[in-house]
Amino acid sequence: MIIKLYNGNPNVREVRKIADTLRDGGIAILPTDTLYCFACSMEHKKAAETIAHLKGFNLKQAKYSMLCASLSQASEYVRAMDKDTFALLKSCLPGPYTFIMEASGSVPRNYQNANKTIGIRVPENDITRAIIEEVGNPLICTSVRPLGEEDEPENYCDPELIHDRFGERVDMVVDGGIADTEASTVVDCSDDIEVIRQGKGELNL
């Protein structure tokens, strides 16, 4: 199933339908401000395991991020931030960044990385933020580009092509238009603040 929504004015009825599917343990492919991503509710471990398989992860090595509707929501799932880290996130979010943070006890261990961290995303995309708000909790996500497939990024930016490849293996693809070909900038804030992958977002640290 493919559902067309418009950034800036997503249809409320369709947003509720997508949120209901995710709350029930479904998997959706959602637009962000960078690449499209696989997403599921953090309440459903089986859905996250299916996403790992689609991505090509070894489940024990899977690296998920949390899609949040706001910095306020994200702060409920990470350890207390110092003033400088909070100011950095506030200045960048919503935006094309993934911030690696120390996970709080609210994050199930199976989504945490080996060092008990989690990637936090608040995308500048009204469609996906509206869906997260309707679900009522963050979504677990990872980009749709499978591991080892770095060529032809346009195949993972066009929702029609994404639907052709994954449409029968997920519950729905949300068409929010052509995505960016560049991934998010990843910033590790779990110790010192350090850019570990330069992507779409730019930081002056």
Q: What is the 3-state secondary structure (H, E, C) of 187-201?
A: EECCCCCEEEECCCC
Q: Residue 152's pLDDT is what?
A: 67
Q: Per residue in 110-150, pLDDT tens?
A: 776 767 889 999 999 999 999 999 999 999 999 998 776 66
Q: Residue 102's pLDDT is what?
A: 92
Report the pLDDT averaged over residues 181-205.
89
Please, which pLDDT band fits residue 75 given cuts at 50, 70 and 90? very high
- Distance between CA 34 and CA 42 in Å, rounded? 21
| pTM, rounded to two decimals | 0.93
Question: Which residue type, as a one-letter code, is found at position 132?
Answer: I
Give residue 40's Cα distance to chain centre.
9
What percent of the chain clears pLDDT 90, i.e. is strictly above it? Answer: 70
Point out which residues pair with 78 in neighbouring strands.
103
pLDDT at 205 over 80: no
Report the pLDDT averaged over residues 69-98.
94
Point out which residues pair with 173 in neighbouring strands.
2, 29
Mean pLDDT score across all residues of the chain: 90
Residue 195's Cβ-count burial label (10 Å; 0-12, 13-18, 19+) is middle
